[in-house]
């Protein structure tokens, strides 16, 4: 394929065609087992979707960021999981060009289009996590997300800090968000903040353990188990003891 033969307006069409051309029946049939909520997906393997995303990102090389974000929005609008993954790959690929005003774009995607844990985590772990490392002043916005009636906004508040947490960053904000979401009744939000605490415990085991011990009477068991998963056996036993 000659890249110059594809005009930008046709990229979405080609992306969709490539995804549908690579549908795998086993992937399509098994996909529904990973989600409690109904989702739209073609059944194309994630590794192949990433290759498709990279292939067309090369076509888009040199495209203004605003145009690329518009294309991402079109992919998000479709509601298909694989197209959301392509949008996530593209937005993460230009992370070095992020500016403060891009936060509104990312927030709009979460608020308007994210409807399952996979697209939530893919967007937040990479694109939004990278943005927050560049512009930590926006960490305060996660407090607003954590109090949203939208379950995906609440999960996004926590999983956006997974990658920074792996580097030992933002402990204060992590504990603040866990405190806000402590008694959330949504299991996917519980798993989100429990995962965040688990990752933070790699660098801040004592602080996370203290948080768990202080709050374990109210903390849902789902979140608690996630939070202590990587801790030493003796600490896990103490934390689980009623």
Q: What is the pLDDT of residue 37?
A: 82
> How far is residue 171's CA from residue 194's CA, in Å, rounded to a whole number?
14
| CA end-to-end distance (rounded Å), the chain | 63
Q: What is the DSSP letter of 125?
A: I
Q: What is the pLDDT of residue 32?
A: 75
Q: What is the pLDDT of residue 17?
A: 96
143 CB-side CA count, 13 A: 10
Q: What is the pLDDT of residue 6?
A: 52
Q: What is the pLDDT of residue 1?
A: 42
Q: Is 3 exposed, middle or buried (0-12, 13-18, 19+ CB in 10 A)?
A: exposed
pTM of the model: 0.93
Q: What is the pLDDT of residue 8?
A: 65
Q: Which of 205, 200, 177 is nearest to 189 (CA)?
A: 177
pLDDT tens string for the chain (242 positions)? 444 445 566 899 999 999 999 999 888 878 777 888 888 999 999 999 999 999 999 989 888 999 999 999 999 999 999 999 999 999 999 999 999 999 999 999 999 999 999 999 999 999 999 999 999 999 999 999 999 999 999 999 999 999 999 999 999 999 999 999 999 999 999 999 999 999 999 999 999 999 999 999 999 999 999 999 999 999 999 999 87
Q: What is the pLDDT of residue 54?
A: 96
> How far is residue 215's CA from residue 209's CA, in Å, rounded to a whole number?
10
Scored b (16 or more CB within 10 A) or e, 164-189 reads bbeeebbbebbbbbbebbeebeeebb
> How far is residue 47's CA from residue 90's CA, in Å, rounded to a whole number?
15
Q: What is the pLDDT of residue 7?
A: 59
127 in Cβ contact with 89 (< 8 Å): no
- Cα dihedral: 13, 97, 3, 54 (round 10): -70
Scored b (16 or more CB within 10 A) or e, 133-151 reads beeeebbeebeebbeeeeb
Tokens, residue 81: 């999981």
With tokens 């069409």, the residue in question is 13
């Amino acid at each position: 394929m000659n890249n110059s033969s594809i005009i930008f307006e046709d990229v979405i069409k080609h992306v969709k065609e490539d995804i549908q051309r690579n549908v795998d029946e086993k992937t399509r049939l098994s996909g529904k087992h990973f989600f409690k909520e109904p989702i739209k997906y073609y059944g194309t393997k994630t590794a192949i979707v990433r290759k498709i995303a990279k292939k067309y990102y090369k076509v888009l090389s040199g495209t203004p960021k605003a145009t690329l974000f518009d294309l991402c929005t079109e992919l998000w609008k479709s509601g298909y999981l694989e197209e959301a993954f392509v949008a996530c790959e593209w937005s993460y690929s230009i992370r070095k060009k992020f500016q403060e005003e891009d936060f509104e774009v990312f927030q709009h995607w979460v608020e308007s289009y994210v409807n399952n844990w996979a697209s939530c985590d893919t967007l937040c772990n990479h694109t939004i996590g990278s943005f927050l490392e560049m512009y930590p002043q926006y960490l305060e916005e996660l407090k607003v997300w954590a109090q949203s009636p939208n379950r995906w906004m609440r999960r996004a508040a926590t999983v956006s800090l997974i990658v920074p947490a792996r580097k030992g960053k933002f402990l204060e904000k992590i504990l603040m968000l866990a405190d806000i979401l402590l008694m959330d009744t949504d299991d996917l939000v519980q798993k989100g903040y429990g995962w965040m605490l688990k990752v933070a415990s790699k660098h801040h085991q004592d602080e996370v353990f203290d948080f768990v011990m202080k709050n374990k009477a109210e903390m849902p068991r789902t979140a608690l188990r996630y939070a202590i998963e990587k801790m030493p056996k003796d600490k896990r036993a103490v934390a689980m003891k009623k």
